[in-house]
Chains A and B, each alone.
Chain A
């Protein structure tokens, strides 16, 4: 079988240059027969099949809808965890406070691979000052609470060393806190106005007022939930709920859905890298995994250009099953 010479008049460098035939890159023009094939009818049938299948699945299985956590539900269900989180927001040791870009400029927090650190290059774009945004400013909105206002004023007026001493003492104390009838009971200690502040914040949270304060802090129509979400995620409550549903990163949770529903199974390779060293313990693990996935995705897209990789279909010979009718026809037609 010889290849026909190209008679195209278009400017086509590959056709003009003499080029060796590579079976994993090139293919012979089809000079064989055609059979009727109604594509539009096929599409209509496919659409109906899919529609019926989808309706069936929806009727049988429905879809999950787990109620979201609110600052109110969090502080009501676990006021100790709420208070423990709130004090770390005030003293700047919470996950969000020490996150780095895009929320704040904590040194050394950005992930990097060698000199490559796009997180720090892009910088802070969604600034969050956890002490002000999560504790002080919401407390300032409370009307008719002179005790709280005085506590906040005392805290703001104190030196940073005094503030640090108070918050450290409170953090130690609240680790042994209990909740009685939903009310926070913190062992006594020398933590100045901080006890009043966190106590008032907890009450504000349990009333639902803190949810509103965090969302509409800049405008009436809020659609950006960054502040309340990061606050909730700083605590253990949300993470424990997720752990129970097998949604944690180290449980391959990225692929999962709540309950027994299938999740985003197509994220299997992305989540796999989070389970293997060094990514599973590196402080730049996220960036490492993204780098790996970008390379692999590029490789997938460029398979046609990569010798060896593009030969796998021919070597694996799966095509012999797919086109077995065609090969039978050829063997039957050609004289031997």
Chain B
């Protein structure tokens, strides 16, 4: 059990350590962490992509 935990610990530590000092953006009166900005940006991109990327039905798209 201890070996398993140790292996898991090495494997699942973290490949990118986000525990360091944070980075933040200051836009006028808005202050936000870079992490949150990235997240929100990804959401907007994903929303736009979801609307724009064609959805092909199995059966072949347009009739």
* Partner-B contacts on A (CB < 8 A): 33, 35-36, 58-62, 64, 245-246, 251-252, 255-263, 265, 268, 275-276, 318, 321-322, 325, 328-329
Q: Is the CB of A61 within 8 A of B33?
A: no
**CB of B30 within 8 Å of the partner chain:** yes
B33 interface neighbour in A35, A246, A275, Cβ under 8 Å: A246
A58 / chain B contacts, CB cutoff of 8 Å: 12
A246-B25 Cα distance, complex, nearest whole Å: 11
A329 / chain B contacts, CB cutoff of 8 Å: 62-63
| Chain B binding surface SS class | loop
Interface Cβ pair total, 8 Å cutoff: 86
Q: Is the CB of A260 within 8 A of B22?
A: yes
**CB of B44 within 8 Å of the partner chain:** no
Q: Is the CB of B39 within 8 A of A321?
A: no
B23 / chain A contacts, CB cutoff of 8 Å: 260
Min CB gap A240→B, angstroms: 15
A268 / chain B contacts, CB cutoff of 8 Å: 36, 40
A146-B60 Cα distance, complex, nearest whole Å: 90
A263-B59 Cα distance, complex, nearest whole Å: 42
A61-B40 Cα distance, complex, nearest whole Å: 18
Q: Is the CB of B19 within 8 A of A258?
A: yes
Q: Is the CB of A275 within 8 A of B35?
A: no
Q: Is the CB of B18 within 8 A of A252?
A: no
**CB of B16 within 8 Å of the partner chain:** yes
B51 interface neighbour in A61, A245, A258, A318, Cβ under 8 Å: A318
Binary flags per residue of B15-45, CB closer than 8 Å to A gives 1, else 0: 1111111111000011111111011100000
A261 / chain B contacts, CB cutoff of 8 Å: 18, 35
A59 interface neighbour in B15, B33, B52, Cβ under 8 Å: B15
A228-B61 Cα distance, complex, nearest whole Å: 63
